[in-house]
Amino acid sequence: MAMTDLDADVVIVGSGVGGGSVALSLAGTGARILILERGERLPREPQNWDAEAVFVDQRYRTSDLWYDGEGNAFRPGQFYYVGGHTKFYGTAMFRFRERDFDGVSHEEGDSRPWPIRYRDLEPWYAKAEQLFGVHGHAGDDPTEPPRSTPYPFGPIPHEPVVAEVFERMRMRGLHPAHMPAAIDLHPGGTCVRCGTCDAFPCRIGAKGDAETRLIEPALAHANVRLVTGCRVKRLIADERGSSIVAVECERGSETLRIGARLFVLSAGAINSAAILKASASSAAPEGLANSSGLVGRYFMNHNCTAIMAITPWRTNRTRYPKTLSLNDYYFGGPASRHPLGNLQLLGKIQEPMLRDVLPAAPKWSRRWLADHSVDWYVMSEDLGQPDSRVQPRPDGSIVLGWKRSNMRAHHRWVETAKQLLKDLGFPIVLSKPFGTDTPSHQCGTVRFGEDPATSALDPYCRAWDHDNLYVVDASFFPSSAALNPALTVAAQALRVGEHLKARLHEF
Ligand SMILES: Cc1cc2nc3c(=O)[nH]c(=O)nc-3n(C[C@H](O)[C@H](O)[C@H](O)COP(=O)(O)OP(=O)(O)OC[C@H]3O[C@@H](n4cnc5c(N)ncnc54)[C@H](O)[C@@H]3O)c2cc1C
């Protein structure tokens, strides 16, 4: 194994929301912070905004193969770049609702309470919104939690087609709300409404992603370093197994061992669990941080369905559609006693995105559908199941045995949303569920809690089993709620970062 000059005080694995937020918290402290990122910088190039390149050629998706629970190979919607999945995210930056933290009763079971409450995270949500430059408007959404600060920027105005839907929803007594969005779209901002965004990288850096909002500002400090193209394979514990002493990683053809005093694992909910399990040794045969046996279990990913609501007599020319969200059915309501979930606008669907869904249809018909549709994302909560699992294979690939849950509520929500859209004046409504190959909202695989028997991490995301190991990405979620996860990952990671600052002298 090669020797390196990379040893640091704190090693952070992954440069996404979790890793980036911790790095920024520790920037300027004097401790030597080293971020190890498997990917490279995502190039800014014309293909960034080209649906053919992004969806048909899958230019940015990993070429790794994973396996589902039945052993079928698939190429997952995983993107390994500096900034992690936020390079491709849809910029929706929601706070979870207060009741999400308490545990919510669903049709097919209860979601698990969190070891912290909304009030514990509220100041960190406010800080995360500032860092990501979130636009929004408080007061429209009946489920929204209390806030100590206004949104950093006002709401992004709806474009005409969306404004009309917004008004029609209001006239039906609903409470559509402006979607909180991290995008530089205001007078003087850099966004040019390119017409892509959700699932595309931003060619001009106008998206509030983890690279631009966290990693770049962190690297402006002399104590933070980033090494790209460096894939961490496993963590190495000391002889007693109580502390982590090094990470083993591959960079090019070299295998490196990098030591540190403190380790922050932020490789995303699937890869972090896989790394911990791949770090098994005779002292820890089930992997590190895993005396509870929970690592890799309770994988969650939201139940999501895309809907195209079509009006044949009007072309939808909306460039930035992600301005409207509806939470009237989030905790139930007339359509159901039980929670249904969130409805929000999806990025604008383009013809190339429909090719694998409608391969036999002529191109003109796919283009017609895309030109005339308003596109929606229907999301409901996935309740963690013990046998919903992430398991690394000896060859380094991953088995993602996702066991969906709460699907009766999801189906009911999709049917309710489709009927609502018909009632709002869209005569044709088509839907398509997202599958295991799209683990965009992955979470829950190394959950935090108050009891080492029923959680792998303490309420500050420190491994119960190892005093100097923190797992700070969407792994820590004990429940998935039914809202986009990135702001919650950032808020908790900033909270952990502050806690780590106070602990640095101990190591
Ligand atoms: C297409 C898409 C749209 C989305 N839209 C939204 C949205 O609108 N709103 C929202 O809230 N969320 C959205 N999400 C989800 C959001 O991006 C994630 O919840 C968030 O990025 C999770 O942060 P994380 O820190 O857990 O992981 P990530 O952001 O995935 O970061 C993990 C990092 O670790 C690196 N890594 C992985 N393995 C290794 C290894 N072995 N060694 C070193 N580095 C490694 C990865 O390359 C990556 O940089 C979307 C996701 C996708 C894919």
Closest Cα to residue 110, out of 343, 338, 379? 338
Task: Find the 16 Cα to ligand 1 centroid distance in Å.
Answer: 6
- Rounded to 5°, angle at Cα 249 from 246 and 254: 125
Task: Find the 438 Cα to ligand 1 centroid distance in Å.
Answer: 12
Q: Using a 6 Å cutoff on CB, does residue 61 contact ligand 1?
A: no
Question: Among 89, 95, 475, 487, which is best to mutate for testing ligand 1, by the most ligand atoms less than 8 A from CB?
Answer: 89
- Please determine, for residue 223, whether its predicted confidence score (pLDDT) is greater than 90: yes
Confidence bin at 4 (pLDDT 50/70/90): low
pLDDT in tens, 362-401: 999 999 999 999 999 999 999 999 999 999 999 999 999 9
Tell how strand 324-326 and strand 177-178 pair up: antiparallel
Q: Using a 6 Å cutoff on CB, does residue 16 contact ligand 1?
A: yes
Specify the DSSP element, H or E, that contains 367: helix 363-372
* Secondary structure class of 214 (helix, strand, coil): helix
Q: Which atom of ligand 1 is the closest one to the Cα of 199?
A: 1
Q: What is the mean pLDDT of residues 211-220?
A: 98
Question: Among 25, 85, 494, which is best to mutate for testing ligand 1, by the most ligand atoms less than 8 A from CB?
Answer: 85
Number of other CB atoms surrounding residue 46 within 10 Å: 8
- The reply to whether the predicted model has a pTM over 0.95 is yes
Which residues does 152 contact at the CB level (< 8 Å), separation at least 6? 129, 130, 133, 134, 135
To the nearest whole percent, how much of the chain has pLDDT over 70?
Answer: 99
Question: In a 10 Å sphere around its CB, with 0-12 CB exposed, 13-18 middle and 19+ buried, how is residue 313 labelled?
Answer: exposed
- C-alpha to C-alpha distance for 231 and 6, rounded to whole angstroms: 14
Confidence bin at 333 (pLDDT 50/70/90): confident
CA 134 to chain centre: 16
Q: Using a 6 Å cutoff on CB, does residue 36 contact ligand 1?
A: yes
pLDDT in tens, 23-48: 999 999 999 999 999 999 999 999 99
pLDDT at residue 57, rounded to an integer: 98
Contact 81, 87 (CB under 8 A): yes
Q: Which atom of ligand 1 is the closest one to the Cα of 233?
A: 41
Handedness of CA 233, 276, 286, 76 (dihedral sign): negative
Q: Using a 6 Å cutoff on CB, does residue 89 contact ligand 1?
A: yes
Q: Which atom of ligand 1 is the closest one to the Cα of 14?
A: 34
pLDDT at residue 6, rounded to an integer: 83
To the nearest whole percent, how much of the chain has pLDDT over 90?
Answer: 97
- Please determine, for residue 3, whether its predicted confidence score (pLDDT) is greater than 80: no
Q: Which atom of ligand 1 is the closest one to the Cα of 210?
A: 29
Q: Using a 6 Å cutoff on CB, does residue 441 contact ligand 1?
A: yes
Residue 157 CA: distances (Å) to CA of 75, 173, 179, 308, 324: 37, 21, 10, 22, 10
- C-alpha to C-alpha distance for 235 and 469, rounded to whole angstroms: 10
Q: Using a 6 Å cutoff on CB, does residue 41 contact ligand 1?
A: no
pLDDT in tens, 165-214: 999 999 999 999 999 999 999 999 999 999 999 999 999 999 999 999 99
pLDDT in tens, 421-468: 999 999 999 999 999 999 999 999 999 999 999 999 999 999 999 999
The three-state (H, E, C) secondary structure of 416-456, written as one string: HHHHHHHHCCCCEEEEEECCCCCCCCCECCCCECCCCCCCC
Q: Using a 6 Å cutoff on CB, does residue 325 contact ligand 1?
A: no
Question: In a 10 Å sphere around its CB, with 0-12 CB exposed, 13-18 middle and 19+ buried, how is residue 9 labelled?
Answer: middle
pLDDT in tens, 304-326: 999 999 999 999 999 999 999 99
Task: Pick the residue whose CA is nearest to atom 14 on ligand 1.
Answer: 89
Confidence bin at 2 (pLDDT 50/70/90): low
Confidence bin at 1 (pLDDT 50/70/90): low
Contact 109, 468 (CB under 8 A): no
- C-alpha to C-alpha distance for 347 and 326, rounded to whole angstroms: 16
pLDDT at residue 383, rounded to an integer: 97
Q: What is the mean pLDDT of residues 223-245?
A: 97
